[in-house]
């Protein structure tokens, strides 16, 4: 049993809110949850992959779905996109670049942004399970 | 497709394997399969594209 495993199991036993806080951190900034758990490689991997997918999506002029869509697929798209945390919210604030779906690249970009959210959702679940001591 | 395959392969490797060597092997294998299956499916769909 590694030191990291002992640390997470001890934290989870002492404070049941700990895994929830880790999951929240992992959602807000991809990789932050694993960073808090001292899983350096996984933290870097998830930050690079979720960030890379999201930034490539924005560079391709993909569309990030907004909340409150009348279309169920728009709502699903928003849920997927919003899972990438800071990579969903910050570009909306920092840039005024508009999506361009008139070219195939924009459509690919939309899928990249959604994939970033799905990757980060998997990372959040992994961080939560790790914080609970269910994964090493 | 190559960028997508690369990034998703790294993410899946981080999730699926615990050791660094295992992750690298898994990522390379997954990346190769993404490319081979992607190009293969594209070729299979080619006759129906017109």
CB A5 within 8 Å of CB A129: no
According to DSSP, residue A135 is labeled -
**What torsion, rounded to 10 degrees, do the Cα atoms A10, A14, A19, A24 define?**
-130
pTM, rounded to two decimals: 0.83
Q: Residues A119-135: what's their mean pLDDT?
A: 92
Q: How many helices and strands (H and E) does chain B possess?
A: 2, 0
Residue A111 burial (10 A CB sphere; 0-12, 13-18, 19+)? middle
Could you give the CA distance from residue B31 to residue B28 in angstroms, rounded to a whole number? 5
Q: Which of A32-41, A117-126, B41-50 has the lowest mean pLDDT?
A: B41-50
The residue among A14 and B10 whose pLDDT is bigger is B10
Residue A52 near chain B (CB below 8 Å) = yes
Q: Which of A86-90, A110-114, B24-28 has the lowest mean pLDDT?
A: A86-90
Could you give the CA distance from residue A131 to residue A105 in angstroms, rounded to a whole number? 38
Question: Cα distance from A90 to chain B (closest Cα, Å)?
Answer: 21
Question: Is residue B33 scored above 70 in pLDDT?
Answer: yes
The whole-number pLDDT of residue A2 equals: 60
Q: Which of A41, A50, A52 sits opposite B20 (nearest CB)?
A: A41
According to DSSP, residue A97 is labeled P
Most confident option among A35-44, A66-75, A82-91: A35-44
The whole-number pLDDT of residue A12 equals: 61
Residues of A with Cβ-Cβ distance to B3 under 8 angstroms: 52, 56
Question: Is residue A57 scored above 80 in pLDDT?
Answer: yes
Residue A47 near chain B (CB below 8 Å) = no
Q: Which of B8, B13, B23 sits opposite A115 (nearest CB)?
A: B8
Q: Which of A42, A119, A136 sits opposite B8 (nearest CB)?
A: A119
Cβ within 8 Å, pair A123-B18: no
Could you give the CA distance from residue A28 to residue B27 in angstroms, rounded to a whole number? 25
Please, which pLDDT band fits residue B12 given cuts at 50, 70 and 90? very high
The tokens of A96 are what?
């005024």
**What torsion, rounded to 10 degrees, do the Cα atoms A82, A85, B38, B26 define?**
-140
Cβ within 8 Å, pair B11-A49: yes
CB A124 within 8 Å of CB A80: no
| A 104-133 residues inside an 8 A Cβ radius of B | 111-112, 115, 119, 122-123, 126
């Amino acid at each position: 049993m590694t030191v990291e495993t002992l640390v997470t199991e001890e934290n989870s036993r002492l404070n049941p809110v700990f895994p929830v806080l880790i999951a929240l951190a992992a959602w807000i900034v991809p990789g932050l949850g694993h960073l808090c758990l001292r899983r350096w490689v996984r933290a870097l991997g998830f930050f690079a992959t979720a960030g890379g997918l999201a930034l490539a999506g924005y560079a391709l002029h993909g569309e990030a779905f907004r909340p409150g869509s009348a279309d169920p697929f728009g709502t699903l798209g928003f849920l997927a996109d919003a899972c990438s945390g800071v990579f969903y919210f910050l570009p909306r604030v920092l840039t005024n670049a508009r999506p361009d779906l008139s070219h195939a690249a924009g459509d690919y970009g939309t899928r990249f942004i959604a994939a970033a959210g799905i990757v980060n959702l998997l990372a959040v679940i992994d961080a939560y399970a790790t914080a609970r001591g269910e994964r090493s | 497709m190559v960028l997508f395959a690369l990034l998703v392969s790294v993410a899946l490797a981080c999730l699926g394997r615990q050791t660094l060597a295992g992750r690298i092997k898994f990522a390379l294998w997954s990346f190769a399969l993404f490319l081979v299956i992607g190009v293969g499916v594209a070729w299979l769909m080619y006759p129906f594209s017109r």
